[in-house]
Amino acid sequence: MTKSFQDPTVINELKTKIHELSAKIGDRKIRICHVCGTHEYTISHWGIRSLLPKNIEVIAGPGCPVCVCPNEDIEQSIWLAKNGYVLATFGDMSRVPSNQGSLLTARAGGADIRVVYSFLDAIKFANSNPQKRVVFFSIGFETTAPTVAIELLNQRIPTNLFILCANRLVPPAMEILLEQPEIPLDGFIAPGHVSAITGYGIYESISDQHHVPIVVAGFEPADVMFGVLAILQQLAQSRSKTENLYSRVVTREGNRKALAAMSEAYSVVDARWRGIGIIPKSGYDLAEQFSKFNIRLKEELPMSSGEDIPKGCKCAEVMLGKIYPEDCGLFNKKCTPENPIGPCMVGNEGTCSIHAKYGGYLDLEED
Ligand code: SF4
């Protein structure tokens, strides 16, 4: 199955169809946005941009959960780690710079930071160390939020484990991107992983209201090419509907069990996205019934000590699809995956990091 989605013959056929349709539509600029680090990986790694007509741009929005985590949340996690808590979080998160350094630099200074692969690891650690007070720094989109929700509902959280909740929701960010007058978008490739949880029905009001085609796509190169083709087909027919091209994983209703757990365990709140600002109803906090696990209610956490984005870093523009990483003066010079200055250069899903490793514009045809 995977092989056919990577088959050069299939991809070449899609390329031909995309070029033919693009020529029929005309030479106008067509901007297609995606909001997923894994899609950006596929696009960069497989050199998809080099296969598209020059007038078709595929730009990356805020699809990296580590990148959008605000400076304030990172500073608060560092404060907790320096004030008697063991801070458990994902590996990428520990490297993200804030105005107070990163969690890793805090660890070098003696703070107890544990890298975990899931919330379940944090539970295990807290159970094995009842004398320690542990905080799980919970980040991620709709894909990671259900694990915490299900453990809360099943009452499997030990009393020495608390949660610093910084989870974000993707659809409100898509709407913010669509409301940017300076970057008009002609279509969206919606994230496959997130959609597996939310269902594709969640995008229908967005495509209707903003008159923009939204296609849910998987992560193989042919998936993305199919996505581009489907958007062009809709544009050619003056349609703007939500379409599911990832039916091998995504349904209209999504994962009902996960959605039910999330709606019980969390409250939807206005939330800050790094470099973008506050997006209404775009984040999760723990629901009132779980307030005893909410570290924000237990401790008076410090406010942010400064700006969200480091001086000279253009992550805000990168995450809003206004520029490519290569347009930042620090890209691959002062800022590299080994020495990241901004959040987009840190994790596997950061646009700058992906472009630094694979080249956002790698031209396969010249290879
Ligand atoms: S290259 Fe580095 S400094 Fe420039 S936008 Fe990306 S993360 Fe920020």
Residue 109 has pLDDT above 90, yes or no: yes
pLDDT-derived band of residue 364, with 50, 70 and 90 as boundaries?
very low
Q: What is the pLDDT of residue 183?
A: 86
The secondary element (H helix, E strand) that includes residue 64 is: none
- Ligand 1 within 6 A of CB of 354: no
Indicate whether 23 and 84 sit together in one domain: yes
Residue 30 lies in a domain: yes
Q: How far apart are CA 343 and CA 71, in angstroms?
A: 10
- Ligand 1 within 6 A of CB of 341: yes
**Which residues are 266's β-sheet partners?**
286
Residue 178 has pLDDT above 50, yes or no: yes
Helices (H), the chain: 8-25, 37-45, 71-82, 91-95, 103-108, 119-128, 145-153, 170-178, 192-198, 204-210, 221-236, 256-265, 295-298, 315-319, 351-358
Q: Is the dihedral of CA 140, 141, 144, 149 positive or negative?
A: positive
**Which residues are 10's β-sheet partners?**
none
Residue 304 has pLDDT above 90, yes or no: no
- Ligand 1 within 6 A of CB of 330: yes
Residue 230 has pLDDT above 60, yes or no: yes
Indicate whether 22 and 110 sit together in one domain: yes
Indicate whether 68 and 8 sit together in one domain: yes
pLDDT-derived band of residue 26, with 50, 70 and 90 as boundaries?
confident
- Ligand 1 within 6 A of CB of 331: yes
Between the CA of 341 and the centroid of ligand 1 the distance, in Å, is 6
Average pLDDT in the chain? 94
Between the CA of 291 and the centroid of ligand 1 the distance, in Å, is 37
pLDDT in tens, 158-177: 999 999 999 999 999 999 99
**HEC readout, 201-228:** HHHHHHHHHHCCCEEEECCCHHHHHHHH
Q: Which atom of ligand 1 is nearest to the CA of 317?
A: 5
Q: Which atom of ligand 1 is nearest to the CA of 350?
A: 7
Indicate whether 274 and 349 sit together in one domain: no
Residue 310 lies in a domain: no
Q: How far apart are CA 164 and CA 166, in angstroms?
A: 6
- Ligand 1 within 6 A of CB of 345: yes
- Ligand 1 within 6 A of CB of 319: no
User: Amino acid identity of 145?
Assistant: A
- Within 13 Å and on the Cβ side, how many CA atoms surround 265? 24
Q: To the nearest whole percent, how much of the chain has pLDDT over 90?
A: 91
Indicate whether 47 and 161 sit together in one domain: yes
Between the CA of 340 and the centroid of ligand 1 the distance, in Å, is 7
Indicate whether 226 and 331 sit together in one domain: no
Length of the chain: 367
Between the CA of 315 and the centroid of ligand 1 the distance, in Å, is 6
Residue 242 lies in a domain: yes
Residue 367 has pLDDT above 90, yes or no: no
Indicate whether 205 and 344 sit together in one domain: no
Residue 106 lies in a domain: yes
Indicate whether 103 and 237 sit together in one domain: yes
Indicate whether 13 and 107 sit together in one domain: yes
- Which of 69, 276, 341 for mutating ligand 1's site (highest number of atoms within 8 Å of CB)? 341
**Stretch 141-150: mean pLDDT:** 96
Residue 87 has pLDDT above 70, yes or no: yes
pLDDT in tens, 322-361: 999 999 999 999 999 999 999 999 988 999 999 999 986 6
Contacts of 181 (CB under 8 A, 6+ apart): none
Q: What is the pLDDT of residue 56?
A: 95
- Which of 96, 314, 327, 334 for mutating ligand 1's site (highest number of atoms within 8 Å of CB)? 314
Indicate whether 88 and 185 sit together in one domain: yes
**Stretch 57-77: mean pLDDT:** 95
Residue 181 has pLDDT above 90, yes or no: no
**Stretch 243-268: mean pLDDT:** 97
Q: What is the pLDDT of residue 4?
A: 83
- Ligand 1 within 6 A of CB of 64: no
- Ligand 1 within 6 A of CB of 133: no
Indicate whether 289 and 324 sit together in one domain: no
Residue 176 lies in a domain: yes
Residue nearest to atom 6 of ligand 1 (CA): 352
Q: What is the pLDDT of residue 366?
A: 45
Q: What is the span of the domain harbouring residue 328?
A: 317-358
Residue 331 CB: number of other CB atoms within 10 A?
22
Indicate whether 248 and 325 sit together in one domain: no
- Ligand 1 within 6 A of CB of 356: no
Between the CA of 351 and the centroid of ligand 1 the distance, in Å, is 9
**Stretch 281-287: mean pLDDT:** 98
Number of domains in the chain: 2
- Ligand 1 within 6 A of CB of 152: no
Residue 297 lies in a domain: yes
Q: What is the pLDDT of residue 360?
A: 65
Residue 343 lies in a domain: yes
Residue 363 lies in a domain: no
Domain with 21 in it: what CATH number? Answer: 3.40.50.11740
- Comparing 213 with 347, the larger pLDDT belongs to 213
Which residue among 303, 329, 344 closes a domain?
Answer: 303
Q: What is the pLDDT of residue 361?
A: 60
Residue 329 to residues 81, 143, 182, 308, 350: CA-CA distances in angstroms? 34, 33, 22, 19, 17
